Amino acid sequence: MSFQEWTQQVQEMLNTKKFGDIAFRDKDFKTAIDYYSKLVGMMSVPSATVFARRSFSYLMNGQSELALRDAMQAQDMLNDG
């Protein structure tokens, strides 16, 4: 992978996180889920914060099982780190 391709991927990840964070802040939880899910797929090691925010978004969207799964994932990452 060239440096240009790598920097493009990094920029795409940063933009995806930014748009997810904006949606989360604006309480647009469905959009936040979409962006955070895309981000999880892009990152080799997603952060606990991404899983925690997606968990809360799932909870606010009435998807309690998915919320619990992500909350447990975030907790595991914090315990391992």
Q: Which of 14, 22, 8 is nearest to 57 (CA)?
A: 22
- Separation of alpha carbons 57 and 50, rounded Å: 10
Q: 51 and 77 in contact (C-beta within 8 Å)?
A: yes
| Tokens read off for 4 | 């240009």
pTM of the model: 0.90
Report the pLDDT value the prediction gives residue 46, as an integer from 0 to 100. Answer: 79
Q: 47 and 78 in contact (C-beta within 8 Å)?
A: no
Cβ-based neighbour number of residue 19 at 10 Å: 17
Q: 47 and 77 in contact (C-beta within 8 Å)?
A: yes
CATH for 3-80 is: 1.25.40.10
One pLDDT digit (tens) per residue for the chain, 81 residues = 899 999 999 999 999 999 999 999 999 999 999 999 999 999 888 799 999 999 999 999 999 999 999 999 999 999 875
